[in-house]
Amino acid sequence: MGLKNDLEKRVAEVFRAKWDERDGNVVPGDDSLTLGNDAVKLKATVLYADLAESTELVDGYADFFSAEMYKTFLHCAAKIIREEDGIITAYDGDRIMAVFIGERKNSRAVKSAMKIHYAVLYIINPAQQAFYTKTSFTLKHVVGVDTSELFVAKTGVRGANDLVWVGRAANYAAKLSSLPDAFATYITKEVFDVMSSDVKTSDSREMWEAVRWNTFDNRIIYRSNWWWRID
């Protein structure tokens, strides 16, 4: 069978086959789904953490320096996410995706974002600047967080496949992480409305500013530069 016939056959199979959907209460792993029309539905909060200005980084600095920035940022983000019981679902170049489910999933995701900001400000940048005393580079990042129902399926081919996370939260969190790095964290109103007070205010001071998402659909989102101390 030629490649064209093989592709036509597979495309027809996907469109023709009935979906086997089931509700999930854990984040599915690679072995939880097949390459057929098999899916898990779950209510989840998605976090995307993106290293800002990475093009300028790789264009303007040595490759090993850029790699060190990637490695330190992604390592700190991953450890923080796991500390808050998030599940890392993907690394995509200079960013990381994680899913939070269960109790306080929105608060835990937001706290992760604020801890990542702390790590950038008080762990990564001071260490980098102490070691590379002649560079003016400062690492910046943006984290986006949204919550919704997700439809999780497996995509790709045998031996080279991954899970695809279909749903608003995955899409919006990624979009939010691409917003200007003047603010470190952006969240949707749906996240803000249900997260706990300890990640909303500090000593009666509001930690978030409501703004219009004017580069998208003008909905209300929230942004912040507050951080959460890591001990």
Show pLDDT as tens, one digit a residue, over the chain (231 residues). Answer: 699 999 999 999 999 999 999 999 899 988 889 999 999 999 999 999 999 988 889 999 999 999 999 999 999 999 999 999 999 999 988 999 999 999 999 999 999 999 999 999 999 999 999 999 999 899 999 999 999 999 999 999 988 899 999 999 999 999 999 999 999 999 999 999 999 999 999 999 999 999 999 999 999 999 999 999 999
Q: Which residues pair with 220 in a beta bridge?
A: 212
- Whole-model pTM? 0.95
Domains of the chain: 37-224 (3.30.70.1230)
Burial of 4 (0-12, 13-18, 19+ CB in 10 A): exposed
CA distances from 146 to 77, 99, 107, 138 (A): 17, 10, 11, 27
